A and B are shown apart, each in its own frame.
Chain A
Amino acid sequence: ETGVTQSPTHLIKTRGQQVTLRCSSQSGHNTVSWYQQALGQGPQFIFQYYREEENGRGNFPPRFSGLQFPNYSSELNVNALELDDSALYLCASSLINSNQPQHFGDGTRLSIL
């Protein structure tokens, strides 16, 4: 069973730039959720994708957007990067409408200079 994998592991960008983070879901899972974890805080829900469409969104501005592909992998795109976007970005996969827990990848550490 292949777990959730994320790339890259680390990334450094400057303010105003755009970034794309990638996630491969665990085999057998059909939803992907993205979370932002700022230093010293718990993960905050950004959005979830199911059937290649957004299936729920947290309190994040539109410059945070995503995609899901037919193989259930996903991308998180952030435009016009701000200093406060510096965080660990976590991807989690699960099976829709299941009580099985979400499985997380190891995250991408994004630093904005």
Chain B
Amino acid sequence: DQQVKQNSPSLSVQEGRISILNCDYTNSMFDYFLWYKKYPAEGPTFLISISSIKDKNEDGRFTVFLNKSAKHLSLHIVPSQPGDSAVYFCAARHDNNAGNMLTFGGGTRLMVKP
């Protein structure tokens, strides 16, 4: 049972345009969501997060939107840059006895073309 899904395995965008990465979840107990970026041969790097009590969080070129009723979140990158090319993982967390374990989606590979 995959509780966090990223249905697009890859996305190609022109430099300067907007990149939109999507993520769906099924567990209504998730209360905190994160996006991580991963370059080859490196570990995931935290990008941006959002609490379930908010519907939007913005940090520079990156904005995350949360639609709780649809159990859907998205990451917007604008403008996209070639250095943004990486695999992006959506992750979710809920307070339980397992501390702050993260449940990850399968990732979306973003390619930004110059």
Residues of B within 8 A of A56 (CB): 96-99, 101
B34, B43, B89, B99: which contacts A101 (Cβ < 8 A)?
B34
Q: Interface residues of A, CB < 8 Å — how many?
A: 30
> Interface residue tally of chain B, by bracket?
20 to 34
B32 on the A face (CB < 8 A) = yes
B104 on the A face (CB < 8 A) = yes
CA distance A52 to B63 in the complex (A): 37
Known contacts A31-B99, A92-B43; can you find 8 more A-B pairs with CB under 8 A? A42-B6, A43-B102, A56-B98, A58-B98, A96-B100, A99-B49, A101-B49, A102-B102
Chain A residues with a Cβ under 8 A of chain B: 4, 31, 33, 35, 40-45, 48, 50, 55-58, 90, 92, 94, 96-99, 101-107
Chain B residues with a Cβ under 8 A of chain A: 4, 6, 32, 34, 36, 41-46, 49, 51, 89, 91, 96-107
